Chain A
Amino acid sequence: MIKVEWLYWLVGLVFVVMAVQMAADRSNPRRWTSAAFWGLLGLTFPYGTGVADATAKNGGWTLPAEPLGVAVLALIVLAGFNFLGKGEPVTSTAEEREASAARLGSKIFVPALTVPLVAIVCASLLDTSGLFETGKATLLGLGVGCLVALVVGMLVTGERKLSVPLHSGRSMLEAMGSALLLPQLLAVLGSIFALAGVGTQVGRIVHDVLPDNSKYLAVLAYCVGMFLFTVIMGNAFAAFPVMTAAIGWPVLIEQMHGHVPAVLAIGMLAGFSGTLCTPMAANFNIVPATLLELKDQYGPIKAQIPTALPLLACSTVIMALFAF
């Protein structure tokens, strides 16, 4: 049986290999701290096997969680005080890429489409085959899909060296920087909020404000809350743990027995409508205006608001009608 922990070890290995490449890259002005960040992140993946909830439950070999907490804080310091740098991107020239696009044509899309197709096949057809750890078929399918796609990609492009995709991937990793880790850290923050009782507190306030058992008002509060929090913070990912710990989970799911995936997926998208409206989400709304040399830097936002508001209404209605 293929276990999900094996996939985490693979992810950790990829980070460690890329960290070694970074350490050797003299074009990166912060190569040692960059390598330390990604290398440490890589090591947290196998170490996490000993800390994870499921390991203890299955009677596996456990490790103390505190050292991992120290490592996470170290990662936060390295990323938070700008210790991450970029090297010269390892890639081909524009002419080479044009020539290779002309040579390969749309065949180049085949490996890219392999990833989701393999993942879907694993999640739907092989889920019950016993090949994968129970309940982890999708995630494992993604890992298998990436490996298959890598082989297909090397065949299609005629690339022989495994170091080429690793170097190109490492350049993408450097370009993304700490943004890559932000979703996982926000998940951590959500858990800490829940442990510290933030959800119960906000839930209590909501309970005082909302009339008892008013499902529609609670749905409205969750969707509009996601929207407004996202507009203020510029990031739906950051709004999600707060609003979910406050209203989504305690009120909509525990009290009113909402359908878990429906409530959460639609709640997140209500936040995305907020992202469309806010200059705080600069990378999505202000950067394109600059790239397009617009005089009015709010041009894209003005073009998006009349779509975002009806979409917020749609999320609220769809959740109210279909999630209960």
Chain B
Amino acid sequence: MIVLLGVVVVILGFVTRRNPVLVVGVAGVFTGLIGGMNPLEVLAAFGRSFADSRSVTVFAVVLPVIGLLERYGLREQARRLIGRLGGLSAGRFLAVYLLVRQVTAAFGLTSICGPAQTVRPLVAPMAEAAAERSTGAPLPERLREKVRSHAASADTVGLFFGEDCFIAIGSILLITGFVNSTYHENLEPTQLALWALPLAVCAFFIHGARLLLLDRQLQRDMALAVAEHDLPLPKGTDK
């Protein structure tokens, strides 16, 4: 039972926001020692499992290619393409962005979009502009926050449930690395990526539907806000 203290160390370390690398190192040494290994055996266990899970870090060979392309405007071009979606309603625009984010992440392009790269400069302002176009008046603070939060959520959901369909992403390689070195399996990344597809589809339909509902919510909340706070009315309407 005492080896379970190792799990406690991991949880405490992550909950108290210690450096994650340090948490993992301390938990590993601690668990090994209380699990009855002597110090040399702990070192050997670290060395052997590190060697057997080298595949997890192989994705670093992609960096020079992505670095080169970013230097030549990969992110700027992604921004231009997204900028062409200007005519849609806020909810539809965010649903299309969700799809773009999922598909590019599934091709391993996880860093061409993101909160800093696309959401702040492009997706959030475009969604706000679209919402104002359809409601015909500036958004009150609360609704502006809602649109921005949904823009951030489209990015995060798209990333999480797209990247696992790519074979060379950390989470997939962590699974193969861990299972192959611990249980001596011969698991291939492609098999895992295939099993991530059904949930990617679920994520698109669930979150996409919620983004489409955002349009209707905005209309309703806007009408309420106008009634409550005497906000400037859309042009051409009487009170």
Contacts and interface: CB of A to CB of B under 8 A. Distances in A.
B83 to A, nearest CB: 12
Interface stretch (A22-30, A206-214, A291-299): A291-299
A241 B10 CA distance: 11
Contacts of B15: 232-233, 280
B45 A195 contact: yes
Given A284-B156, A294-B149, A265 B108 contact: no
Given A164-B71, A172-B63, A249 B48 contact: no
Nearest to A242: B7
A100 B73 contact: yes
Interface in A225-262: 229, 232-238, 240-242, 244-245, 249, 260-262
A123 B61 contact: no
Nearest to B106: A116
B47 A69 contact: yes
B171 A268 contact: yes
Contacts of B167: 116, 119, 123, 138, 142
Interface residues of A, number: 147
Nearest to B120: A291
Contacts, number: 457
A104 B77 contact: yes
Contact of B178 (A8, A241, A284): A241
A130 to B, nearest CB: 17
Given A68-B47, A142-B58, A306-B210, A53 B52 contact: yes
A158 to B, nearest CB: 9
B37 A91 contact: no
Interface string A150-194: 100110010100001111111111000011111111111111111
Contacts of A291: 115-116, 119-120
Interface stretch (B85-93, B129-137, B197-205, B226-234): B197-205
A300 B152 CA distance: 6
Contacts of A149: 65
Contact of A315 (B63, B177, B199): B199
Interface in B43-82: 43-77, 80-81
B113 to A, nearest CB: 12
A72 B59 CA distance: 19
Interface in B152-201: 152-153, 155-157, 160-161, 164, 166-168, 170-175, 177-179, 181-196, 198-199
Contacts of A159: 68, 72
B139 to A, nearest CB: 13
A238 B25 CA distance: 12
Given A236-B171, A284-B156, A307-B210, A143 B61 contact: yes
A194 B77 contact: no
A91 B52 CA distance: 35
A157 B51 CA distance: 36
A65 B51 contact: yes
A100 B196 contact: no
A307 B203 contact: yes
Nearest to B183: A249
A185 B25 CA distance: 8
Interface string A44-75: 11011101110000000000111111111100
A280 B63 CA distance: 27
Contacts of B47: 51, 64-72
Interface in A263-297: 264-266, 268-269, 272, 275-276, 280, 284-285, 287-289, 291-292, 294-296
Nearest to B166: A116
A165 B64 contact: yes
A2 interface: no
| For the complex of A and B, 10 pairs with smallest distance between CB atoms | A196-B35, A168-B67, A101-B73, A80-B22, A68-B47, A69-B43, A299-B149, A48-B51, A169-B64, A65-B47
10 contacts: A14-B63, A80-B22, A112-B109, A168-B67, A169-B64, A189-B31, A192-B46, A193-B31, A201-B1, A299-B152
Given A292-B124, A292-B148, 18 more contacts: A14-B63, A15-B60, A48-B51, A51-B48, A91-B70, A108-B74, A116-B107, A116-B166, A146-B65, A170-B63, A188-B24, A192-B31, A195-B32, A276-B157, A291-B115, A300-B149, A307-B203, A311-B199
